[in-house]
């Protein structure tokens, strides 16, 4: 059972951890050259929460089923599941489409010479930055709930 706990923690850190980089990579007020580079990095990092986060949920459920943690309806167990689902909804439903739209404009050959984002895309970047800040906060709450669990 200890190996499953170890694996769960490792997968959670690797899976959810890169989400926190969205705050840095998609920050407001950066050069368009930096943004082009950072959006490609963020696109690659987005695979970690989708795959690793899902594995973390599965291993967490297995720990509850096979461990002696009690009911999954305890706040410290159930709340992280709800928070993870909220993160997935935000990432898949709100962040990914906007990220794709911004990436499409940034990497389009006609826009390669541009040194400034159009207002529409500045607003998208601002929304992405705010959403990543919120997702990071939710991720922090997940880790907090896992650390302060009752003994």
Q: Are 95 and 135 in contact (CB under 8 A)?
A: yes
Which range has the top average pLDDT, 49-53, 60-64, 118-122, 147-151? Answer: 118-122
Whether residue 121 is predicted with pLDDT greater than 80 in this model: the reply is yes
Q: What is the pLDDT of residue 33?
A: 93
Q: How far is CA 150 from the centre of its chain?
A: 26
- Listed in sequence order, the residues at least 6 apart from 63 whose beta carbon sits closer than 8 Å to its beta carbon are 1, 4, 5, 8, 69
How many CB atoms are closer than 10 A to CB 99? Answer: 22
Q: What is the pLDDT of residue 46?
A: 82
Cα distance between residue 35 and residue 23, in whole Å: 12
Q: What is the pLDDT of residue 151?
A: 61
Whether residue 100 is predicted with pLDDT greater than 90 in this model: the reply is yes
pLDDT digits (tens, 9 = 90+) for 105-116: 999 999 988 989
Q: What is the pLDDT of residue 94?
A: 94
pLDDT digits (tens, 9 = 90+) for 17-69: 888 888 899 999 999 999 999 999 998 888 888 888 889 989 989 998 998 88
pLDDT digits (tens, 9 = 90+) for 76-99: 889 998 998 999 899 889 999 999
């Amino acid at each position: 059972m200890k190996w499953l706990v170890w694996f769960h923690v490792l997968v959670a850190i690797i899976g959810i951890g890169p989400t926190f980089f969205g705050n840095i990579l998609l920050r407001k007020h950066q050069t368009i050259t930096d943004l082009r580079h950072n959006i490609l990095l963020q696109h690659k990092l987005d695979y970690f929460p989708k795959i690793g986060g899902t594995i973390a949920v599965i291993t967490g459920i297995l720990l509850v089923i096979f461990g002696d943690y009690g009911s999954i309806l305890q706040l410290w167990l159930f709340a992280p599941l709800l928070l993870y689902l909220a993160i997935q909804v935000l990432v898949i439903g709100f962040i990914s489409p906007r990220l794709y739209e911004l990436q499409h404009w940034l990497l389009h050959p006609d826009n390669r010479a541009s040194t400034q984002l159009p207002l529409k895309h500045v607003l998208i970047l601002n929304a992405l930055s705010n959403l990543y800040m919120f997702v990071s906060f939710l991720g922090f709450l997940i880790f907090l709930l896992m650390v302060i669990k009752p003994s």
